[in-house]
Amino acid sequence: MAYTYDDQNIFAKILRGEIPNDTVLETEHSLAFRDITPQAPHHVLVIPKGPYVTYDHFAAEASDAEIVDYTRAVGQICQILGLEEDGFRLISNAGRAGVQEVPHLHVHILAGRPLGRMLDKA
Ligand code: 5GP
């Protein structure tokens, strides 16, 4: 499958510094910042700096260094936010079925309140 990356998406603009963000962590290959419309007391988005649309795109085409950096960045955010004890939820929406709004890979880290069951039945 060929993945097409749109470099005008909002997270590409954040990475280029064209739009401000509330950064929690920046590493060589990843950036983590607070969601503009938080759905929990902690709602952080973690994105790779490279042009990847979805998690499967990233897994297929990113370098080992990018994948290690990204995975560790997610773990570091959990430590920074102190989520070990109470826990958290990781979500990565992809494509139409996943209802992905922004076509640049991101995981949502949600925490700070009971988050309910994973999915509505609808
Ligand atoms: P998706 O539905 O693609 O998984 O989630 C996209 C997320 O990006 C949403 O939770 C939305 O609130 C967030 N978002 C959209 N635009 C911006 C922005 O300009 N800045 C930040 N920090 N978050 C944004």
What CA–CA distance (Å, rounded) separates 65 from 51?
15
What CA–CA distance (Å, rounded) separates 11 from 47?
8
Is the beta carbon of 36 within 6 A of some atom in ligand 1?
A: yes
What CA–CA distance (Å, rounded) separates 49 from 39?
24
- The reported pLDDT for the residue numbered 2 is 84
Nearest CA to ligand 1 atom 17: 36
- The reported pLDDT for the residue numbered 9 is 98
Q: Identify the residue whose tokens are 């938080």.
A: 38
What pTM did the predictor assign?
Answer: 0.97
Task: Give the amino acid at 114.
Answer: P
End-to-end CA distance of the chain: 29
Q: Please give the DSSP secondary-structure letter assigned to residue 28.
A: S
Low-confidence ranges of the chain (pLDDT < 50): none
